Amino acid sequence: MIKVSHEVPINLLEKSKLFNDYDYCLPHLLDENEDYKHFFLSADSMSRYTIMDNSLHELGEAYNTERLMYWIQMLNPNEFIVPDVWEDMESSVNNAKEWINIKLPKGVEKVAVIQAKTLNEAFICTEEYKKLGYKKIAYSYGASYYNDICPHPNKDLGKALGRLYVITTLYNQKALTENDRVHLLGCSVPQEFSWYRGIKCIESLDTSNPIMAAIEKMWYDEHGLFSKPTANMKDNVKGGENIHPDILDWNISMFRKINNLK
Protein backbone atom coordinates (compact mmCIF):
# COMPACT_ATOMS: atom_id res chain seq x y z
CA MET A 1 0.00 0.00 0.00
CA ILE A 2 1.29 3.47 -0.89
CA LYS A 3 1.89 5.61 2.19
CA VAL A 4 0.66 9.21 2.03
CA SER A 5 1.53 12.33 4.00
CA HIS A 6 0.15 15.86 3.55
CA GLU A 7 2.27 18.66 4.97
CA VAL A 8 0.09 21.05 6.97
CA PRO A 9 0.40 24.41 8.75
CA ILE A 10 1.61 24.10 12.31
CA ASN A 11 -1.77 24.50 14.01
CA LEU A 12 -3.08 21.49 12.04
CA LEU A 13 -0.24 19.12 12.95
CA GLU A 14 -2.23 17.25 15.60
CA LYS A 15 -5.19 16.86 13.26
CA SER A 16 -2.86 15.55 10.55
CA LYS A 17 -2.33 12.38 12.60
CA LEU A 18 -5.90 11.44 11.69
CA PHE A 19 -5.29 11.45 7.93
CA ASN A 20 -1.53 11.02 7.38
CA ASP A 21 0.05 7.59 7.15
CA TYR A 22 3.34 9.03 8.37
CA ASP A 23 4.81 12.41 9.40
CA TYR A 24 6.90 14.46 6.97
CA CYS A 25 9.42 16.72 8.71
CA LEU A 26 11.01 19.90 7.33
CA PRO A 27 14.14 20.30 9.49
CA HIS A 28 14.57 24.06 9.15
CA LEU A 29 11.19 24.53 10.87
CA LEU A 30 12.46 22.60 13.89
CA ASP A 31 14.85 25.51 14.48
CA GLU A 32 12.35 28.21 13.60
CA ASN A 33 9.20 27.25 15.47
CA GLU A 34 8.78 25.89 19.00
CA ASP A 35 5.37 24.36 18.31
CA TYR A 36 6.69 22.51 15.27
CA LYS A 37 9.67 21.24 17.28
CA HIS A 38 7.43 20.16 20.15
CA PHE A 39 5.17 18.21 17.80
CA PHE A 40 8.02 16.13 16.39
CA LEU A 41 9.69 15.65 19.77
CA SER A 42 6.51 14.52 21.53
CA ALA A 43 6.38 10.89 22.62
CA ASP A 44 3.45 10.16 20.32
CA SER A 45 5.16 11.61 17.25
CA MET A 46 8.44 9.91 18.08
CA SER A 47 6.64 6.57 17.83
CA ARG A 48 5.17 7.39 14.39
CA TYR A 49 6.86 6.68 11.06
CA THR A 50 8.74 9.83 10.00
CA ILE A 51 10.48 10.96 6.84
CA MET A 52 12.83 13.92 7.29
CA ASP A 53 13.43 16.13 4.27
CA ASN A 54 16.50 18.36 3.79
CA SER A 55 14.37 21.51 3.11
CA LEU A 56 15.79 22.16 -0.39
CA HIS A 57 12.35 22.94 -1.83
CA GLU A 58 11.60 25.52 0.86
CA LEU A 59 15.04 27.13 1.16
CA GLY A 60 16.44 26.82 -2.37
CA GLU A 61 19.32 24.77 -1.01
CA ALA A 62 19.65 21.92 1.46
CA TYR A 63 19.64 22.91 5.13
CA ASN A 64 22.85 23.33 7.08
CA THR A 65 24.59 19.96 7.43
CA GLU A 66 25.42 20.47 11.11
CA ARG A 67 21.77 21.13 11.92
CA LEU A 68 20.60 18.23 9.78
CA MET A 69 22.88 15.89 11.70
CA TYR A 70 21.70 17.35 15.00
CA TRP A 71 18.03 16.78 14.20
CA ILE A 72 18.66 13.31 12.81
CA GLN A 73 20.23 12.41 16.14
CA MET A 74 17.36 13.99 18.07
CA LEU A 75 14.43 12.61 16.06
CA ASN A 76 15.85 9.36 14.73
CA PRO A 77 13.56 9.47 11.65
CA ASN A 78 12.82 6.31 9.72
CA GLU A 79 14.01 7.92 6.50
CA PHE A 80 16.22 10.90 5.73
CA ILE A 81 16.37 12.58 2.32
CA VAL A 82 20.05 13.33 1.79
CA PRO A 83 21.01 16.81 0.51
CA ASP A 84 20.60 17.32 -3.21
CA VAL A 85 21.11 20.28 -5.55
CA TRP A 86 18.22 21.51 -7.67
CA GLU A 87 18.41 20.32 -11.29
CA ASP A 88 22.12 19.55 -10.89
CA MET A 89 22.75 15.86 -11.44
CA GLU A 90 26.52 15.92 -10.93
CA SER A 91 26.42 17.83 -7.64
CA SER A 92 23.56 15.69 -6.35
CA VAL A 93 25.40 12.47 -7.18
CA ASN A 94 28.53 13.83 -5.49
CA ASN A 95 26.48 14.64 -2.38
CA ALA A 96 24.99 11.16 -2.45
CA LYS A 97 28.49 9.68 -2.60
CA GLU A 98 29.47 11.63 0.52
CA TRP A 99 26.31 10.83 2.45
CA ILE A 100 26.33 7.12 1.74
CA ASN A 101 29.43 6.93 3.97
CA ILE A 102 28.11 9.18 6.74
CA LYS A 103 27.04 7.15 9.74
CA LEU A 104 23.50 7.81 10.93
CA PRO A 105 21.64 6.29 13.90
CA LYS A 106 20.57 2.70 13.48
CA GLY A 107 17.29 2.42 11.63
CA VAL A 108 17.56 5.70 9.69
CA GLU A 109 17.40 4.94 5.97
CA LYS A 110 19.01 7.34 3.49
CA VAL A 111 16.93 8.36 0.47
CA ALA A 112 18.40 10.09 -2.60
CA VAL A 113 16.52 12.52 -4.85
CA ILE A 114 16.89 12.42 -8.62
CA GLN A 115 18.05 15.76 -10.02
CA ALA A 116 18.30 16.16 -13.76
CA LYS A 117 17.77 18.42 -16.76
CA THR A 118 16.93 15.66 -19.25
CA LEU A 119 15.46 12.18 -19.32
CA ASN A 120 18.93 10.79 -20.00
CA GLU A 121 20.30 12.51 -16.89
CA ALA A 122 17.42 11.10 -14.85
CA PHE A 123 18.35 7.63 -16.13
CA ILE A 124 22.03 8.14 -15.25
CA CYS A 125 21.22 9.61 -11.83
CA THR A 126 18.94 6.67 -11.01
CA GLU A 127 21.62 4.17 -12.01
CA GLU A 128 24.32 6.01 -10.03
CA TYR A 129 22.24 6.08 -6.85
CA LYS A 130 21.51 2.38 -7.12
CA LYS A 131 25.20 1.61 -7.67
CA LEU A 132 26.02 3.60 -4.54
CA GLY A 133 23.65 1.41 -2.55
CA TYR A 134 20.57 3.61 -2.11
CA LYS A 135 17.55 1.38 -1.71
CA LYS A 136 14.97 4.14 -1.98
CA ILE A 137 14.95 6.94 -4.56
CA ALA A 138 12.74 10.03 -4.80
CA TYR A 139 11.51 12.01 -7.81
CA SER A 140 10.36 15.62 -7.35
CA TYR A 141 7.31 17.07 -9.08
CA GLY A 142 8.76 20.38 -10.27
CA ALA A 143 11.69 19.70 -12.61
CA SER A 144 11.73 22.02 -15.64
CA TYR A 145 12.54 19.25 -18.10
CA TYR A 146 9.16 17.63 -17.44
CA ASN A 147 7.65 20.45 -19.49
CA ASP A 148 10.20 19.78 -22.24
CA ILE A 149 9.14 16.14 -22.31
CA CYS A 150 5.45 17.04 -22.29
CA PRO A 151 4.94 20.55 -23.76
CA HIS A 152 1.28 20.63 -22.78
CA PRO A 153 -0.24 24.14 -22.92
CA ASN A 154 -1.24 23.63 -19.28
CA LYS A 155 2.18 23.70 -17.56
CA ASP A 156 0.89 22.02 -14.41
CA LEU A 157 -0.52 19.07 -16.31
CA GLY A 158 2.67 19.02 -18.39
CA LYS A 159 4.82 18.65 -15.27
CA ALA A 160 2.65 15.81 -13.97
CA LEU A 161 2.65 14.03 -17.32
CA GLY A 162 6.39 14.63 -17.69
CA ARG A 163 7.21 12.96 -14.38
CA LEU A 164 4.90 10.11 -15.28
CA TYR A 165 6.73 9.68 -18.58
CA VAL A 166 10.14 9.67 -16.86
CA ILE A 167 9.17 7.05 -14.30
CA THR A 168 7.31 4.83 -16.76
CA THR A 169 10.24 5.00 -19.18
CA LEU A 170 12.71 4.05 -16.44
CA TYR A 171 10.35 1.26 -15.37
CA ASN A 172 9.92 -0.09 -18.89
CA GLN A 173 13.67 0.02 -19.49
CA LYS A 174 14.32 -1.81 -16.18
CA ALA A 175 16.25 1.08 -14.64
CA LEU A 176 13.46 0.79 -12.07
CA THR A 177 11.88 -2.55 -11.26
CA GLU A 178 9.07 -3.75 -9.02
CA ASN A 179 11.76 -4.55 -6.43
CA ASP A 180 12.85 -0.91 -6.21
CA ARG A 181 11.30 1.60 -3.83
CA VAL A 182 10.27 5.06 -5.01
CA HIS A 183 9.05 8.17 -3.20
CA LEU A 184 7.16 10.88 -5.10
CA LEU A 185 7.88 14.39 -3.83
CA GLY A 186 4.90 16.71 -4.21
CA CYS A 187 2.64 17.16 -7.21
CA SER A 188 1.27 19.77 -9.57
CA VAL A 189 -2.16 18.16 -9.81
CA PRO A 190 -3.49 15.64 -7.27
CA GLN A 191 -4.84 13.13 -9.78
CA GLU A 192 -1.31 12.39 -11.04
CA PHE A 193 -0.88 9.57 -8.55
CA SER A 194 -3.73 7.58 -10.08
CA TRP A 195 -1.71 7.33 -13.29
CA TYR A 196 0.94 5.13 -11.63
CA ARG A 197 -1.32 2.11 -11.23
CA GLY A 198 0.58 -0.97 -12.34
CA ILE A 199 3.98 0.56 -11.55
CA LYS A 200 4.75 -1.51 -8.49
CA CYS A 201 7.78 0.36 -7.15
CA ILE A 202 5.90 3.41 -5.81
CA GLU A 203 6.11 3.13 -2.01
CA SER A 204 5.28 6.58 -0.63
CA LEU A 205 4.36 10.13 -1.53
CA ASP A 206 4.03 13.49 0.13
CA THR A 207 2.09 16.53 -1.01
CA SER A 208 0.48 19.54 0.61
CA ASN A 209 -1.78 20.00 -2.45
CA PRO A 210 -5.16 19.31 -0.78
CA ILE A 211 -4.25 21.61 2.11
CA MET A 212 -2.95 24.45 -0.07
CA ALA A 213 -6.06 24.13 -2.25
CA ALA A 214 -8.19 24.44 0.89
CA ILE A 215 -6.33 27.62 1.88
CA GLU A 216 -7.34 29.06 -1.51
CA LYS A 217 -10.91 27.74 -1.07
CA MET A 218 -10.47 25.39 -4.03
CA TRP A 219 -12.69 22.31 -3.81
CA TYR A 220 -11.46 19.15 -5.51
CA ASP A 221 -13.93 17.79 -8.04
CA GLU A 222 -14.17 14.14 -9.06
CA HIS A 223 -11.18 14.60 -11.37
CA GLY A 224 -8.98 16.55 -8.92
CA LEU A 225 -7.64 19.89 -10.13
CA PHE A 226 -6.25 21.19 -13.39
CA SER A 227 -4.02 23.87 -11.91
CA LYS A 228 -1.67 23.89 -8.96
CA PRO A 229 -2.63 26.13 -6.01
CA THR A 230 -0.31 29.13 -5.74
CA ALA A 231 -0.22 28.76 -1.95
CA ASN A 232 2.74 26.83 -0.57
CA MET A 233 4.02 25.62 2.77
CA LYS A 234 6.86 28.14 2.81
CA ASP A 235 4.38 31.02 3.02
CA ASN A 236 1.70 29.23 5.02
CA VAL A 237 3.49 27.61 7.94
CA LYS A 238 1.07 29.47 10.20
CA GLY A 239 -1.79 29.56 7.70
CA GLY A 240 -4.07 26.94 9.19
CA GLU A 241 -6.53 29.51 10.52
CA ASN A 242 -7.38 30.43 6.91
CA ILE A 243 -8.59 26.92 6.04
CA HIS A 244 -12.29 26.14 5.95
CA PRO A 245 -12.56 22.74 7.70
CA ASP A 246 -15.19 21.40 5.28
CA ILE A 247 -12.97 22.11 2.26
CA LEU A 248 -9.98 20.58 4.03
CA ASP A 249 -11.81 17.38 4.92
CA TRP A 250 -13.35 17.13 1.46
CA ASN A 251 -10.05 17.58 -0.37
CA ILE A 252 -8.23 15.03 1.78
CA SER A 253 -11.02 12.50 1.30
CA MET A 254 -11.21 13.15 -2.45
CA PHE A 255 -7.43 12.86 -2.78
CA ARG A 256 -7.65 9.27 -1.57
CA LYS A 257 -10.69 8.52 -3.71
CA ILE A 258 -9.28 10.02 -6.91
CA ASN A 259 -6.04 8.09 -6.52
CA ASN A 260 -7.67 4.86 -5.32
CA LEU A 261 -5.70 4.99 -2.08
CA LYS A 262 -7.04 3.13 0.93
pLDDT at 219: 98
What CATH number should be reported for the domain holding residue 205?
3.20.20.105
What local confidence, expressed as pLDDT, does residue 45 receive?
82
Q: What is the pLDDT of residue 183?
A: 98
Task: Write down the pTM of the prediction.
Answer: 0.97
Q: CA distances (Å), 165 to each of 10, 17, 24, 108, in order?
A: 34, 33, 26, 31
CA pseudo-torsion sign 137, 199, 169, 176: positive
Are the C-beta atoms of 185 and 206 separated by less than 8 Å? Answer: yes
- pLDDT at 234 (0 to 100): 85
Residues 167, 199 contacting (CB under 8 angstroms)? yes
- C-alpha 49/C-alpha 114 separation (Å) is 23
Domain span including residue 114: 3-258
User: Mind listing the pLDDT tens digit of every residue in the chain (262 residues)?
Assistant: 899 999 999 999 999 999 999 999 999 999 999 999 999 999 788 899 999 999 999 999 999 999 999 999 999 999 999 999 999 999 999 999 999 999 999 999 999 999 999 999 999 999 999 999 999 999 999 999 999 999 999 999 999 999 999 999 999 999 999 999 999 999 999 999 999 999 999 999 999 999 999 999 999 999 999 999 998 888 888 877 779 999 999 999 999 999 999 7
Report the number of distinct structural domains present in the chain: 1
Q: Of 183, 204, 164, 257, whose CA–CA distance to 1 is shortest?
A: 204
Cα 40 from chain centre = 18
Evaluate whether 223 touches 257 at the Cβ level (below 8 Å): no
pLDDT score of 43: 77
Strand order in the sheet with 181-185: 3-5, 202-206, 181-185, 136-140, 109-114, 79-81, 50-52, 23-25
